[in-house]
Structure 1
Amino acid sequence: MRKIAGDILHVDLTTGKVWREPISKERLLMYIGCRGINAELLWKHVKPNTDPLGPDNVIIFGTGLLTGTASPSSGRTTVTCLSPATNFYLKTNGGGYWGGELKYAGYGHVVVHGKADKPVYIWIDDDNVEIRDASKYWGMDVRTLDKAIKEDIGDEEVQVASIGPAGENLVRFASVMFSIYNAAGRGGAGAVMGSKNLKAIVVRGSGSISPANPKLFHERVKAAKESLKSDSGYEGMGLYGTSGSLYGINELKVFPSYNFQRSAADDITPYTGQNFTNGGYLKRKVGCYSCIIGCHRYSTADKGSFAGAYTGGPEYETMSACGSGCGISDTNAVIKMNELIDIYGMDTISAGSVVQWAMECYQRGVIDIDDLDGIDLRWGNAEAAVEMIRKVAFREGFGDILAEGVKRASEKVGGDSYKWAVHGKGLEQSRVDTRSAKAYALAFAVNPRGADHLHTETFAEFGMGPDAREVIKKITGDENLANPYLTEKRAEIVRWHEDCYAATDCLGFCSFTSTALYGITPEIMAGLFSAAIGVDVSEEELMEIGRRIVTLEKCFNVRQGATRKDDTLPWRLMNEPTPDRPDADDAVNSQEELDGMLDKYYTLHGWDKETSWPTEEVLRMLDLDYVAEELKEMNIAIK
């Protein structure tokens, strides 16, 4: 019987050394597991001035503490490293079955050090761990690789975490792919694997795991399932996936189009989950490990010039990044773009973002068709967008510039192109127009990995159901504050959600269970955590662990040189009001508005408002003394 947390497996690709590190109960009470222990390991093993694509960066895979159990939708894996996109902290998260298989092999975390001198993959077969030659697999796309490795090992059930050509070519937003369609996409973790000549980590586990108090644990699992099923959005999420809410999102003017030149689509229907389900594109629903929702899609393009394409999804973010963001309403084309992005191993948000940024550059005459190798990259040209996706993955022609991300691409191209390079800290913004969603605006600004929702998902501010309004009432005392156009109490909403999200990640839950649906509450999470490790942990104590993790992640960026000026939003959203809300005075993210929310947010944390840095008092209160001491040794003046 395996320990529920598993051990930490270290693999040094430079020396070939492999070793195990146990996880104490005291460490679990400090960080829970997964994202929390990942952050602690990153602080320890990656120091300032490390090259994100050099051998001194590490890449850390952490499974949820509850991954491998019957807890509903708890099969997530967090990947952590120094981001090649931002040079700041990166945690990115993927689903599928890889994390459960790793737990059954006896490990909760894998830390990869160094760099191999040739392409390799790591083979984990319970206690047997090998670094194997992967030269024959180098250059394969993710779909081809997954099939080839399983055939060579002779086991269709092994789980594969891999990179495609984009990771090999060090595209700064290359993803780590679990199986074929589950991506740890944001921030370029796939490029870090590529820089280490690491093609894949392949896992087979034959053990089982048990919580400290099995009877109580399974009683609480049953209650968690019933709570999740009772959420008002549960059925719709299963039926229509992440795009099921698009009609409401579009009505609120939060759905970006044409590279955020607009915040709504004229015809939202082609992008909706309802269209996928009812229009025949959806062939089956797919669930990740232990999931009872099944929001993941498997879709095909059956007609038109892209007939024959098939892929997982597309999800909400892809429908905006590759659909409305590029002016493409052909659902078949979006399926094709998503297929290529997955098998080449890229982040769908960033890949779509660089294409639409280039489309706007083309629209405004900053680049011409000769710069684009003869590609007519006008808005809505699906064939051109598909070809540009391929060129980015292989760094061909103008694709080589786009492979650097919109921040670096705009610096290369020049002119005013930085104004429509929609990113935060160097990470392309996920597809929420923050000019009409003020809690998201604050959350995106302070997110240590950049302008993105999957660190502090504040979906409840839209107030789209009774469960969401109840969450806002719990946080603020007033359900009427479930209004995305308001700035009141946004700091409180963000602070609560970031602690909740950290606990969600650490336990391995999908964020759709706690911050997009709300059935898995902090109280339920605390109960499951307590039964899992055999120590009573209250809801308040669980949320404080979340706060500790968020603070540690912030301090990693402080050590990297981050200050308050880095907690900002893209130029366009700070300077150009959305034309889709012409009568609204606040249809922009002004500096004055953002500063007011930041001041309140830092105050709630107990951080210094001038620098945004956590104070020594707060660090010691959170038992992060080792962080305080190191920052003081570096002459970083935490007050």
Structure 2
Amino acid sequence: IGMYDFPYEKSVNLSSNNINKYKVKEYGCFSCPVQCGAILKIPELNIEEMHIPEYETCCAFGTLLLNDDLFSIFQINDICNRAAIDTISVGATIAYAIECFEKGLLSLEDTDGLQLTWGNSKAILSLLNKIIMREGIGDLLADGVKIAVDKIGKESEPYAINSLGSEIPMHDPRYFESLAFSYAFDPTPGRHTTASIDFAEIGSYDKFEEKVTLPKKRKTNINKKIEAQVISTGFHQILNCTGMCMFSTSFGPYPFIDLLNALTGWKGNIDEYIETGLRIQTLRQAFTLREGIKLSQNELPDRVIGIPPAKKGPLKGKTIEYKAFYRKYCIRMGWNPENGYPLKETLEKLDLEFVIKDLY
């Protein structure tokens, strides 16, 4: 998608081949054969031990910032891990700051003398440290882009790519369309691991668990797409609550239900577990609404959904419509399509009667 601004000759510097040169040990969760974690040693930076930078970090501080300096990303990854800083959020916040600087909304005086230009790895690293220590310009940015807009000004809002204060991850909804729905309307908005149908297309639940059958022709039929989203939602919540990994278990086929029953002594079938997942999702929805967050009124930044549409490249002319999808999804979930509130009869059906007093 960034093929023009960040072409192959730049992106290849951040390739897994270049990163894996520094790998000294792999690790993973208990009994997992995938071992997706790794420890690196970077002699050039005098780093004896650090975790491998993962996809989101490489994108948030690489492609998003037009930064092809791999050593800077190694440093940034290690600093963020040790400071307990989320790389998606801080990478997107630095991108926001760079664009504000580019558009003249931040001056050199505002940035403490930092030339916040795309690909300037030294300035990016310096700004990261300022954010962590809340020093100077870092204090202005340390709470993320939504709050920074209140300080810098409304004119900076188009560059603050977030959903209700959560910076958008490195997965473009213009390519993975159902992510626009998840980013805007999941009870924890702005996250990419919340059962979008596109995940099912990549690591299909059809393969994950033979008993999970998503509707066919779901890409072209809106009703089947809604049904697929509901099934994915229910299954994904069960996956989360059992502590399973959505990556290692989606190579499939994987006898998830049989294993879960054997482990727990339960005798549940796929329909019962899907309903349990929908109960979880409805409870998540109710909690968010009770706390005063009006998901149904949320809107994604224009840039995220292709307004205006790209003039060239693989996404040329593409704009995403996601609000009508949400209304239909609410109806299928038994929620009010106007405000997202679970209907009383839905709460009763899911044995969530105790929630009614908090919402009505």
Per-residue CA deviations over 1:236-284 (Å, capped at 9, x if unaligned) read xxxxxxxxxxxxxxxxx3xxx5xxxx8974123233334423xx13333
2:93 to 337, 349, 354: 354
User: How far 1:359 moved relative to its partner?
Assistant: 0.9
Change in Cα spacing, 1:420 to 1:382, as seen in structure 2 (3 Å) is same
Give 2:30's aligned residue.
289
Match of 1:374 in 2: 113
Deviates further, 291-300 or 336-345: 291-300
Is 1:625 the equivalent of 2:358?
Answer: no
Counterpart of 2:322 (choices 594, 602, 626) is 594
Q: Determine the structure 2 residue equivalent to 1:445.
A: 184
* CA 520–424 in structure 1, closer or farther in 2 if over 3 Å, else same: farther
* Structure with greater strand share of residues: 1
- Counterparts of residues 132-147 of structure 1 (less than 5 Å): none
8 Å Cα contact 2:173-2:180 kept in structure 1 = yes
Structure 1 residue runs without a partner (length 5+) = 1-252, 633-639
**Runs of 5+ unmatched residues, structure 2:** none
CA 1:466/1:525 → structure 2, altered by over 3 Å: closer, same or farther? closer
- Equivalent position SS for 1:284: strand
Once the two structures are overlaid, the 10-residue window that deviates more, 593-602 or 573-582, is 573-582
Match of residue 233 from structure 2: 498
C-alpha contact 1:439 1:491 (8 A) present in aligned 2: no
Query: Do structure 1's residue 519 and structure 2's residue 262 form an aligned pair?
Result: no
| CA deviation profile, 1:563-619 (whole Å, cap 9, x unmatched) | 35444322322423245537743x223xxx212211221122121111111111111
8 A Cα contact 2:310 2:316, kept in partner: no
CA distance in 2, matches of 1:357, 1:301: 30
CA distance in 2, matches of 1:446, 1:499: 15
d(CA) in 2 for partners of 1:499 and 1:435?
24
Q: How much does 1:358 deviate?
A: 0.6
Could you say what secondary structure the match of 1:362 adopts? helix
Aligned to 2:163: 424
Q: d(CA) in 2 for partners of 1:466 and 1:501?
A: 9
Residue 607 (structure 1) aligns with: 335
Contact 1:392 1:402 in 2 (8 A): yes
* Pairwise CA distance, 1:293: 0.8
Provide the identity percentage: 28
Q: 2 CA distance for matches of 1:358 and 1:454?
A: 26
Residue identity in the other structure for 2:325: M
Match of 1:548 in 2: 279
* Aligned mates of 2:4, 2:270 — CA distance in 1: 37
SS in 2 for 1:434: coil
TM-score (normalised: structure 2) = 0.89
Partner SS for 2:148 = helix
In structure 1, what is the Cα distance between the partners aligned to 2:74 and 2:284? 35
Instruction: Note the C-alpha offset of 1:620.
Output: 0.6
Is residue 532 from structure 1 mapped to residue 256 from structure 2 by the alignment?
no
Kindly indicate which of the two structures has a greater share of residues assigned to helix.
2
Check whether the contact 1:463–1:469 (CA below 8 A) recurs between aligned residues. Answer: no
Q: 1:269 aligns with which of 12, 21, 43?
A: 12
Q: Judge conservation of contact 1:350–1:428 (CA < 8 Å) in 2.
A: yes
How many residue pairs align between the two structures?
A: 356
Question: What is aligned with 2:77?
Answer: 338
Distance 1:434 1:470, change over 3 A: farther
**2:102 aligned residue (342, 351, 363):** 363
The residue that corresponds to 2:214 in the other structure is 475
Please tell me whether the aligned partners of residues 93 and 145 of structure 2 are also in contact (alpha carbons under 8 angstroms). Answer: yes
For 2:310 and 2:204, locate their aligned partners in 1 and report how far apart those are by CA, in whole Å.
26
Letter in 1 for 2:279: R
Residue type of the alignment partner of 2:302: W
1:238-317 counterparts in 2 under 5 A? 253=1, 265-267=6-8, 268-277=11-20, 280-303=21-44, 306=45, 308=47, 310-317=49-56
Q: Distance in 2 between matches of 1:537 and 1:469?
A: 17
Instruction: Tell me, yes or no, if the aligned pair for 1:513 and 1:520 is still in contact at 8 Å.
Output: no
The secondary structure found in structure 1 opposite 2:50 is: strand
Q: 1:378, CA displacement in angstroms? A: 1.0
Residue of structure 1 in register with 2:303 after alignment: 572
CA contact (8 A) 1:442 1:491 kept: no
Structure-2 separation of matches of 1:511 and 1:461: 10
Tell me the distance in 2 between the aligned counterparts of 1:600 and 1:300. Answer: 50
Once the two structures are TM-superposed, the CA of residue 496 in structure 1 deviates from its matched residue by: 2.3
SS at match of 1:627: helix
Separation in 2 of the partners of 1:264 and 1:553? 39
Contact 2:187 2:295 in 1 (8 A): no
Query: 1:367 and 1:310, CA in 2 relative to 1: closer, same or farther beyond 3 A?
Result: farther
CA contact (8 A) 1:301 1:336 kept: no
1:86-235, aligned counterparts within 5 Å?
A: none
Q: Show the counterpart of 1:508.
A: 243
CA shift for structure 1 position 532: 2.5
Distance 1:487 1:284 in 2: 46
Matches of 2:69 and 2:187 in 1, distance apart?
Answer: 35
TM-score normalised according to structure 1 size: 0.52
The aligned residue for residue 400 of structure 1 is 139
The partner residue of 1:560 within 280, 285, 291 is 291
The one of 581, 597, 601 aligned to 2:313: 581
The AA in structure 1 aligned to 2:109 is D
Inter-partner Cα distance in structure 1 for 2:299 and 2:245: 27
Residue type of the alignment partner of 1:581: G
Q: Distance in 2 between matches of 1:457 and 1:512?
A: 14
